[in-house]
Each structure stands twice: as C-alpha cells, then as structure tokens.
Amino acid sequence: MAEEPFGQITFGAKFSQDLQSGYVDILSGLVHDRNNALFLNLRGTLGDDDQQIVSVGLGFRHLFEDPGIIVGGNVYYDYIDSEAGNGIDQLGLGAEVLTHWVDARFNYYMPDGDRHLVRTFTVNQHDRSVSPPFERNRFIQESVRNTNTATTFGVFEEGIEGWNAEVGFLVPGLDKYMELRIFAGAYGYSNPHGGDFNGFKGRAELRVTEGITLDAEYWDDKELVGGHWVGGIRVSLPFDIGLLCQGKNPFEGAGDIFKFRPARQLHERMDEMVIRSHRIMTGDSKPEPMGSMTTTNTTTLPLDPIRRGGTPPPPKTGGGGGDGEGGGDGEGGNEKPPT
C-alpha cells in the first residue's frame, strides 16, 4: 500500500468534580492508504489522584467508499499504576463504525483479576474474666485473667471489568460552521467486591477547529470518573513518524489546526483518535482479617483470711471502752462485782 501522511498526536485534559487528568495520545500509521490503515496507538494518562495509565494499542480501519462507512477494531494493553502504588494489567478490546452522520463505538475492559494490598490496620480487643473464689494459704483468693487480641485487617483492590458503548449523530445545519456530535450510551462495570456500576452515559463533542475539540460527558455513577459531569479539551496535531524517518517534518500541516473546513471528507477521519476510557477504575474490598495475635496473663488476688477454730474474731469497739472482758461493753460493763 502506498504511503500517505497519516497520524496524529493529541494533548488532552479532563476535568470533573473530584478528579482532573491529562493525557498524550499518539496514533501512528504502520501500513496505510486511502481506504485501509493498520496503526499503532500509544497513550499516557496522569490524574491528580496519583493514578497513572499507560496504553499500547493496535488498530485497523477500513473505509467502504460506497456507502461511506469506516469500520474499525482495536486491541489494547493497559497498565495501571494505582493510587496505592499497585500495578494492574488490563486487556482492552474495541469496535467502531464511523460515517458522516452517525458514529457508534463499543469498548470492553478486562483486568488481570489479581488482588493487591492497599492498606492495613489493627483492631485491639481486651477481655477480663474472674474465677470463682478459692482457698490457698489460709486466704480466700480469686484469679483475674486478662486476654488481649490484636487482629490485623487488610483492604485490597482489583481492576473493574466492564464495558461502555455509545451511538451519536452529527447535528445537521450546524456542520457548516463546526462539527457537533451528540452521543447517548450505556455502561456496565462489575465490581468484584460488590456494588456494580450500570447506567446511562451521554457525551457531546464539539470540533471547533481543525485541531481543537471540546467535549462534555455525563455518567450516572460519579465514582467511575470523579463526578457526574466531565469536561474535556483536546488539541490534535498531524504527526507522521514515516515523514520523520525520511528526514521530513512529522508535523506537516500543523499550522492549520486553528482553521475549520466544514466539508471534511470521510477518509480524513481514518487517523482520528480512538475514543475509549481514559479513566480506568479499581474497586476496593471491605476490610478482611489477615491474622491475629493473642496474649494472656493471669493474676491471683487475696480477698479475706480464712477463720478456723482457734482464730479469734477481730476486736469490737464498745461505748465504755475496754476489750469486751475487762472493760466491758454494753450491759456487761455496768454490772457490780459480787460480794
């Protein structure tokens, strides 16, 4: 197939209530002509939640001149460096249909399924038990048993398997001035720790000039993308590695990014950026016990001495003083001596 200028480099950013992220996307043709393209797609994404995503993809697109449809498929390897510093591998598969008036896409994401430790914490429990009284060394005694148990809990994370799809159309009439496409779709993500995500998603994509595109998204589940609403901007420049290898300017035509050509031909969309999720989510488990350690100590405490036959009772104190025999107490202290 004859070589033609093909490829783009895109600098993009997304903004939501709880998450901001930026990305660089390079789509470069491997083998291509007007109607066919086998391309390499490299993407790096960094969010302010310290999650980093690196994607390497291979895609193919074919243009059917009549009736004017581009059909494409792609496969991606995604590496996620999560907020907790864990590495998660993911396989991504996608399909797309592009026409002048209608676009449709489907993407599927399948993580490796490995569990990764996020954090640990320890819960301490203290129990105290007292034995029935017993005799030892002429004393009534009791034993006090103290038991301390320290249990360590762990929280684990996994990548979330799922899919998303959308269908949209080019707003007629307005395309004379700019390209506005409106999309409606759905998604389903299976959280291995419970609380699956299923719902509606919508997106508006406004191509303001040749290389500047604005978009806005809505998701029913804000946990997936940091908020119900996500705004975005991306700037795309022509980037042809083939021209670079020939010693030519790989950004040939970059000066036209601020211009707008309403009568864009369908084959010019062959090297458009692949639309897929830039924010790959992970799910955290509930705290799970990882192990425990128990320590026990027993203390014996004396209560009272044991009174046996020859053991006198403790002395009593009366109103007249004395010890109860010589001094008397109560009535005995008032008796007269015998004559």
Q: When comparing pLDDT for 275 and 288, which is higher?
A: 275
Average pLDDT of the segment spanning 237-255: 80
Q: Is the pLDDT of residue 238 over 60?
A: yes
What secondary structure does DSSP assign to 127-167, as a single string? EEEEPPPEEETTEEEEEEEEEEEEEEEEEEEEEPEEEEEEE
Q: When comparing pLDDT for 326 and 45, which is higher?
A: 45
The enclosing H or E element of 42 equals: strand 36-47
Q: Is the pLDDT of residue 261 over 80?
A: no
Tell me the per-residue pLDDT of 112-131, one tens digit each, with 9 for 90 and over.
888 888 888 899 998 988 87
Tell me the per-residue pLDDT of 75-99, one tens digit each, with 9 for 90 and over.
999 999 988 889 999 999 999 999 9
Average pLDDT of the segment spanning 304-317: 56
Distance, in Å, from the CA atom of 107 to the CA atom of 185, rounded to the nearest integer, reads 11
Q: Is the pLDDT of residue 330 over 80?
A: no
Greatest mean pLDDT range, 298-302, 322-326, 333-337: 298-302
Residue 280 — very low, low, confident or very high, per pLDDT cuts 50/70/90?
A: low
Q: Which domains does the chain have, with CATH numbers?
A: 7-115+159-282 (2.40.160.160)
Percent of the chain past pLDDT 70, that is, above it, reads 87
Average pLDDT of the segment spanning 312-337: 47
- Quote the Cα angle for 263-240-231, to 5°: 60
Residue 13 has a pLDDT of 95
- Cβ-in-10-Å burial (0-12, 13-18, 19+) of 189 comes to buried
Average pLDDT of the segment spanning 209-221: 93
Residue located via tokens 């303001």 = 208
Handedness of CA 327, 328, 329, 334 (dihedral sign): negative
Q: When comparing pLDDT for 120 and 327, which is higher?
A: 120
Q: Is the pLDDT of residue 299 over 60?
A: yes
- For 52, the token pair is 């980093």
Tell me the per-residue pLDDT of 48-60, one tens digit each, with 9 for 90 and over.
888 899 999 999 9
Residue 286 has a pLDDT of 84
